[in-house]
Amino acid sequence: MGKSKVTSLEVARRAGVSQSAVSRVFTSGASVSDKMDKKVRMAADDLGYRPNPIARAMITGKSRIIGLVFSYLDNQFYPLALERIIRALKTHGYHTLVFMAENSTKDVDDVVKELVAYQVEGIVAASVDMTNDLATLCEATGIPVVLFNRGQDDSRLSEVTSDNIAGGRMVANFLVGGGHKRIAHISGWQGSSTGQDRANGFLEGLSKKGVDPVAVEDGAYDQKRAGEITRTLFCGSDYPDAIFVGNDHMAFAVMDVLRFEFGLSVPDDVSVVGYDDVPIASWPAYDLTTIQQPIDQMVSSTVDTIMARIEGEPNPKRILIPGPLILRGSARKPKGFTA
């Protein structure tokens, strides 16, 4: 027979206090004296008591849990974001449940429905889309949703992204200013707002300079696919002299193919520019020129937004945060260029 779980009532009796006092001790942010806190925690340790946040949520309607939904962690940007979001939420007294979801309607729907069943107080969804039905479900159950690094055409959802259109436009100005004539773009997934916006900003920037791209291919944020596209683009003699890649994760694969399979110099033969500015981008092996996603500001805005919505702010927010072009050694630098 398994040992029965110790209840808060037993802890209260051992400590000689009320059951509500035990509840306050184990509720983040609740008012309780140091003497009371010490007495209750000693009794809890003696009995082996552990508070049950799910049971408390059923009683109080407050789980102090935020659900985080990520589609993948291969891109080095997302592990950093995940860690910082969790740490920031912890400072507000919230725990997190992290779920991975394939970027498909059914998988995201299933995950979010599971989070609703856990009575989370809010959901942060990173680079996944939500259906209108799912947004309606969250709205009906009073669970606010913030999209991180992904936009969506649903006014009920808050979103926090970098200014991807401006970033793409900045890269176009930079490459044209560097004298490049044959410019290609390996975009992020065109089913995502980030991939679309970066590509649209880039193509708009080229158009304003009177330049047509030699190729625009959907790399789908996948390193293997980005490498395959690079092999196709460089199989002949009339290859691009510059490539804007939709994120750093793909750009690393592009650079490896150019240097180690085609024997080309980056940037002497081909300039490469990425997007994100993950830590590896600054390593000497890549020294990647890239648009920096302002991750600290994005995380701070995301957490502030979800907290405000939980506390009763009725209006969703759409926040665009500009990021700078970080100049390194993977691309030819125009004289006097300013981002």
Rounded Cα distance between 95 and 63, Å, is 9
Low-confidence ranges of the chain (pLDDT < 70): 1-3, 28-29, 53-61, 103-105, 338-339
Segment 289-306, tens digit of pLDDT: 999 999 999 999 999 999
Beta-bridge mates of residue 321: 162
Beta-bridge mates of residue 186: 217, 245
Is the distance from CB of 152 to CB of 146 less than 8 angstroms? no
Q: Is the alpha carbon torsion for 103, 106, 107, 113 positive or negative?
A: positive
- Predicted local distance difference test score (pLDDT) of residue 110: 84
- Predicted local distance difference test score (pLDDT) of residue 215: 97
- Predicted local distance difference test score (pLDDT) of residue 56: 62
- Predicted local distance difference test score (pLDDT) of residue 307: 96
Within 10 angstroms of residue 4's Cβ, the number of other Cβ atoms is: 7
Rounded Cα distance between 130 and 112, Å, is 9
- Predicted local distance difference test score (pLDDT) of residue 58: 54
Helix, strand or coil, per DSSP, at residue 115: helix
The pTM of the whole model exceeds 0.75: yes
Contacts of 20 by beta carbon, 8 Å cutoff, 6+ apart: none
Q: At CA 148, angle to CA 133 and CA 75, rounded to 5?
A: 115
